Amino acid sequence: MARYVRVEEGVVVELIETGDYAIADLFAPQFLASIHPAPPGREVRVGMELQASPVPASVAEASEPVAAPLATPPGDKLEAVARAHVAEVVAQGAEARERQWRSDSLEASQWLAARHRDEQDLGRGTSLSAQQYLELLEYRQALREWPGCQGFPAVAARPQAPQWLPGNLPGQ
């Protein structure tokens, strides 16, 4: 079983076991530049600093280890990579949380729009005035466009619901 490591900025970020497959059969050529054979007989862990050479054009040429762990423990470089990763995960979490809030808000206000259309189709008086219905439609459109707007995913930048909208909507 062949073992490889993916290295970014001199730090191991992933361990890869390819089984009976050649690494070149599993990954795109541009991705192979960051993949290196793991040194045989040595323990390699994610987060470890590593001096490495890219996978040779012909994987069969890799008869000797081309990667060796550094003698020094992970230091500032690892900390910087870890901090950048944490910041990225936090940002992704905020975006996901706000997208969920947006979906919940659209779902929670859907019944008002549907009721208004149903009342119109039945030829009855509507519960919402024409102005309220227009405000509701504008609010729902602002929710749909919000992820592409400046300020996303800040809570303060959320589209504002019309004042008359029932308080049972999420986050209102």
pLDDT digits (tens, 9 = 90+) for 46-90: 888 877 555 554 544 444 444 555 444 555 666 777 777 777 766
Q: Is the CB of residue 153 less than 8 Å from the CB of residue 97? A: yes
Do 19 and 91 fall within a single domain? no
Do 54 and 91 fall within a single domain? no
Q: Is the CB of residue 87 less than 8 Å from the CB of residue 61? A: no
Quick check: is 172 in a domain?
no
Q: How many domains does the chain have?
A: 2
- Looking at residue 133, its pLDDT comes to 95
Q: What is the model's pTM?
A: 0.48
Do 82 and 69 fall within a single domain? no
- Looking at residue 65, its pLDDT comes to 45
Quick check: is 162 in a domain?
no
The DSSP H or E segment spanning 84 is helix 76-121
Please indicate whether residue 52 or residue 44 has the higher confidence score (pLDDT). 44
Quick check: is 163 in a domain?
no
Quick check: is 166 in a domain?
no
Quote the CA–CA distance of 112 and 109 in Å, as a whole number. 6
- Looking at residue 46, its pLDDT comes to 83
- Give the structural domain span for 129: 77-157
Q: Which of 114, 108, 119 is nearest to 166 (CA)?
A: 108
Quote the crossing angle between the two packed helices 76-121 and 130-145, to the nearest 10°: 150
- pLDDT at position 129 over 80: yes
Do 13 and 42 fall within a single domain? yes
Q: Which of 171, 160, 118 is nearest to 135 (CA)?
A: 160
Quick check: is 103 in a domain?
yes
Do 69 and 81 fall within a single domain? no
